[in-house]
């Protein structure tokens, strides 16, 4: 199974935000979109960073309430680790676990084509395991 399989199931919609937006507006977008991270992009297709709930909570711990008026570029994670549609799900699960990353933008060249979360990966793997169990159960039933 590949990242492309996850994108086929969930779609390619990615919540993005400009780097000059305020943290207040980013927090509102996270709530409205119901996501844990926003890809930071000037144009909606390039990636300059990622802003997660974790980044905001770290900013709050460091700056207090004034963090709401900081910009996304002040808190975003730069040097974003990404994946491609052809990457295996087990491979990206390993990267996400080792690097403690919950969201991976999916790129095609320099263009953002989707995003996968650790929840997407776990959900897809559980579906895979359920299918395997059903196949084994059917096989065992036929053999008896």
pLDDT digits (tens, 9 = 90+) for 57-95: 999 999 999 999 999 999 999 999 999 999 999 999 999
pTM for the predicted model, two decimal places = 0.86
Q: What is the pLDDT of residue 125?
A: 79
- 77-108: b (≥16 Cβ within 10 Å) or e: beebebbebebebeebbeebeeeebbbbbbbe
CATH 3.40.50.2300, domain 3-143, yes or no = no
Domain ranges of the chain: 3-143
Tell me the pLDDT tens digit for each residue of 88-136.
999 999 999 999 999 999 999 999 999 999 999 988 878 777 766 677 7
φ/ψ of 117, rounded to 5, equals -110, 165
Q: Which two tokens stand for residue 32?
A: 């409205």
């Amino acid at each position: 199974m590949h990242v492309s399989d996850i994108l086929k199931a969930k779609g390619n919609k990615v919540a993005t935000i400009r780097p000059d937006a305020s943290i207040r507006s980013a927090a509102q977008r996270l709530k409205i979109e119901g996501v844990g991270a926003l890809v930071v992009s000037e144009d909606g297709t390039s990636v300059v960073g990622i802003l997660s709930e974790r980044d905001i909570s770290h900013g709050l711990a460091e700056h207090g309430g004034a963090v709401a008026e900081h910009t996304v570029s002040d808190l975003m994670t730069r040097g974003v680790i990404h994946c491609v549609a052809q990457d295996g799900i087990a491979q990206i699960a390993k990267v996400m676990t080792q690097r403690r990353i919950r969201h991976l933008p999916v790129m095609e060249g320099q263009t953002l084509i989707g995003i996968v979360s650790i929840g997407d990966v776990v959900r897809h793997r559980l579906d895979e395991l359920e299918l395997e169990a059903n196949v084994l159960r059917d096989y065992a039933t036929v053999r008896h």
